[in-house]
Structure 1
Amino acid sequence: MTSHPGRMRVITSALQAAEQILAVWPIDDGEVLSAAKYALQSCLEGNLSPGSARFAFIQAAKEAGNCVDEPVRGPPSGKSLRWHKTKPRQRA
């Protein structure tokens, strides 16, 4: 959520998240904010996964009172997704 009521900003990368935290964040300090800054920096350096940095960013946004509209995702299954269906084999 931006400083303008009713306006949302879509963040699609760790770089955009870091820019938001450093430039226009509504609070200046906080334990969760510090952790999020560190996580984003580590992600940009390649030392932390984007998913972990995303989680830290969302927690910092919630701490700052920002509305976060995150998609509902299930837990990772460890299986790769199949984008096409195959016909079942028929036995002779």
Structure 2
Amino acid sequence: MTSHPGRMHVVTSALQAAEQILTDWPIEEGEVLSAAKHALLSCLEGNLSPGSARFAFIQAAKEAGNYVDEPERGPPTAKSFRWQKNKPRRRA
């Protein structure tokens, strides 16, 4: 939810989250907000996983009183698991 009542905004990337949190956020300051800004910028620099930045963004949204329409997940703790086996590569 945005600072405009009744308007929803879908965020699908760290860049969109950073733009949202820096330009159209209902609160100016907050401990969680500062951490989320740092997390998003670190993610954009390639120093933090998107999952961790996502977690921080959701926490900042909740701190600001924004509605989040998605179940909360904790930050990733390890590499993502691939369920599919890799296909063998063909050698030329």
Q: CA RMSD in A?
A: 1.9
- The aligned counterpart of 2:48 is 48
Q: 1:48 to 1:72 in 2, by over 3 A?
A: closer
Query: What TM-score results when the alignment is normalised by the length of structure 1?
Result: 0.76
Normalising by structure 2, we get a TM-score of: 0.76
Alignment match, 2:67:
67
- Aligned counterpart, 1:81: 83
Shift of 1:71: 4.7
**One-letter amino acid matched to 1:31:** E
Q: For structure 1, which runs of at least 5 residues remain unmatched after alignment?
A: 83-92
List alignment gaps of at least 5 residues for structure 2.
85-92
Moved over 4 A (4+): none
Distance 1:59 1:65 in 2: 10
Between the aligned residues of both structures, percent identity stands at 81
| Conservation of the 8 A alpha-carbon contact between 2:18 and 2:41 | yes
SS of the aligned residue for 2:16 comes to: helix
Shift of 1:80: 2.2
Distance 2:7 2:34 in 1: 25
Cα offsets for 1:1-30 (capped at 9, x unmatched): 023333211000000000001101000000
Distance 1:39 1:81 in 2: 28
Match of 2:32 in 1: 32
Shift of residue 70, structure 1, vs aligned partner? 1.2
